[in-house]
Amino acid sequence: MSSNFHTKDLSNSNFLVTGGAGFIGGHIAEYLLKNGAKKVRVLDNMVNGFNSNLDVLKQYPGFEFIEGDIRNAETCLHACAGIDYVSHQAALGSVPRSIKEPIYFNEVNVGGFVNMLKAAIDNKVKTFVYASSSSVYGDEPTLPKIESRIGNCLSPYAATKKTNELYAQVFADVYGIKLMGFRYFNIFGPRQDPDGPYAAVIPLFVKGIMNQTPVYINGDGEQTRDFTFVDNAVQINVRGMLTDNEEAFKKVYNVAIGERFTVNDLYKTCQTQLSSSFNATYREPRAGDIRDSLADISLAKNLLGYQPTKKFEDGLVETINYFKQLYS
């Protein structure tokens, strides 16, 4: 992972990464520790977190771990004590799962988010950045997606992320906390969970091709996504937490590459990289899915100096190599 996403000395700064035992949070925590942060505290209830991700972090003396749930306001207060910067990644993902379990999603993604905001304010945290989602764009058909133009939500998951953005705006206005949100577009990379009913598409494809177990493509596979390597999500979180640009706060940013590929393209690339002719099985399109996705990333470039460091193909090769080692 590159270490050129910041210029500040981190040795006097304390960070909290919620969901830091998970995929994106784990990469953010690792970057901060690797680059000399005084303290990186992770809060995770281990529902979507992995001990293997914590093992990566344990080698650093500045690492601290709290096992706890953001649905508990006291836990959030305790986790924010003495913290300068918060990167809030803890959430339930997955559109189909949210359609099955809307109440659970609301408790974690909305209730937990408000608990974290209040805890950050009470502990006088300098900057609070949080994960939103490209699902917020909903049925807005225009490409590329521009932050100011969103449609109707297509799932409870999308509604929770849109609600986060509304709360963030209100908390910034009412309490004066410095914050910003990041609409992630299909983040992928090493250490992403390949198991479970709601696993992400890239680890699922790689695992299925390698094991020659059925791989499913929803719909015709011609739907497009702005697949974004995890280093780019790390970069925006670091830039957001450390920025001195006052104009950058109270906004949400697209986090993507600004290019799109079809799911079929993705599958073919996986086949090529794995030297396999194993074919996918096509099935019905999935409820709540957006057809096409492509981000305009000029806002993040202009206000945060964001510049994607790894494009889709390079990131995919790195990810496939990681899973190859895992499964071989």
Residue with tokens 């002719």: 277
- Specify if 174 maps to a domain: yes
- Specify if 21 maps to a domain: yes
| 3-state secondary structure at position 90 | coil
- Specify if 213 maps to a domain: no
Going by pLDDT thresholds of 50, 70 and 90, the confidence category of residue 328 is confident
Query: Which tens digit of pLDDT belongs to each residue from 261-311?
Result: 999 999 999 999 999 999 999 999 988 777 889 999 999 999 999 999 999
Angle at 106 between CA 115 and CA 99, to 5 degrees: 160
- Specify if 202 maps to a domain: no
Of the residues 31, 85, 137, 157, which is catalytic? 157
The pLDDT of residue 3 is above 70:
no
- Specify if 263 maps to a domain: no
pTM (two decimals): 0.95
Q: Where are the beta strands (DSSP E) in the chain?
A: 14-18, 39-44, 63-67, 85-88, 127-133, 178-184, 187-188, 216-218, 224-225, 228-229, 251-255, 261-262, 281-283
Report which residue type is found at 17: V
Residue 157 is among the residues annotated as catalytic for this protein: yes
Going by pLDDT thresholds of 50, 70 and 90, the confidence category of residue 201 is confident
The tally of domains found in the chain comes to 1
Query: Which tens digit of pLDDT belongs to each residue from 151-186?
Result: 999 999 999 999 999 999 999 999 999 999 999 999
Q: What percent of the chain has pLDDT above 70?
A: 98
- Specify if 73 maps to a domain: yes
- Specify if 27 maps to a domain: yes
| 3-state secondary structure at position 76 | helix
- Specify if 237 maps to a domain: yes
The residue segments making up the domain with residue 60 are 14-187+227-258
The pLDDT of residue 237 is above 60:
yes
CA dist 300 and 258 (Å) reads 11
CATH number at residue 25: 3.40.50.720
